[in-house]
Amino acid sequence: MLLASSWIQINITSQELWEEMLCLKGLIVVDVFQAWCGPCKPVVNLFQKIRNEVGSNLLHFAVAEVDSIGALEKYRGQCEPVFLFYTGGELVAVVRGADAPLLQKTILKQLAGERKGLHGREPVV
């Protein structure tokens, strides 16, 4: 496995790492950013808080620079923060802007759906 994660975020720097990340089990929240503006730093504390509260190994946070990942080409040239939510390698939700209450609500909703899906019930998307 090539992914090197800190205790809170995985740093995705190439298409190869992007594809590997999509294979992770659980919910993956990706902060996509451009080199000239960087990832959204204010949400790191929110992610840490949520992860501490849910204590789940089914919840992953990542940052990915759009300029180095072909799959994120359509997000290039945007200056607003964009957060992508993936489960089972599929995009299940998008949040635009650093709206902490909306991010938290979306994370908890998608995580609940992921947990239900792993127990034989349909995921909530």
- Establish how many alpha carbons lie within 13 A of residue 104's alpha carbon, considering only the half-sphere containing its beta carbon: 14
| Mean pLDDT along residues 58-64 | 91
Whether 100 is covered by a domain: the verdict is yes
| pTM given for the model | 0.84
**Averaged confidence pLDDT in the chain:** 83
Whether 65 is covered by a domain: the verdict is yes
Nearest to 123 by CA among 26, 54, 47, 50: 26
The amino acid occupying position 59 is L
Tell me: the pLDDT tens digits for 68-106?
899 999 988 877 889 999 999 999 999 998 899 999 999
Helix spans in 22-118 (H): 42-54, 100-118
Is 123 or 104 the better-scoring residue by pLDDT? 104
Nearest to 123 by CA among 85, 73, 83, 95: 85
Whether 92 is covered by a domain: the verdict is yes
| Residue 58 contacts residue 28 (beta carbons within 8 Å) | no
Looking at the 3D structure of the chain, how many domains does it have?
A: 1
| Residue 27 contacts residue 110 (beta carbons within 8 Å) | yes
Instruction: For residue 95, give the CATH number of its domain.
Output: 3.40.30.10
User: In the structure, what pLDDT confidence band is assigned to residue 3 with cuts at 50, 70 and 90?
Assistant: low
| Mean pLDDT along residues 115-119 | 63
Whether 35 is covered by a domain: the verdict is yes
User: In the structure, what pLDDT confidence band is assigned to residue 57 with cuts at 50, 70 and 90?
Assistant: confident
Residues spanned by the domain of 25? 10-115
Q: How far apart are CA 14 and CA 29, in angstroms?
A: 17
Whether 122 is covered by a domain: the verdict is no
Is 48 or 39 the better-scoring residue by pLDDT? 48
Whether 125 is covered by a domain: the verdict is no
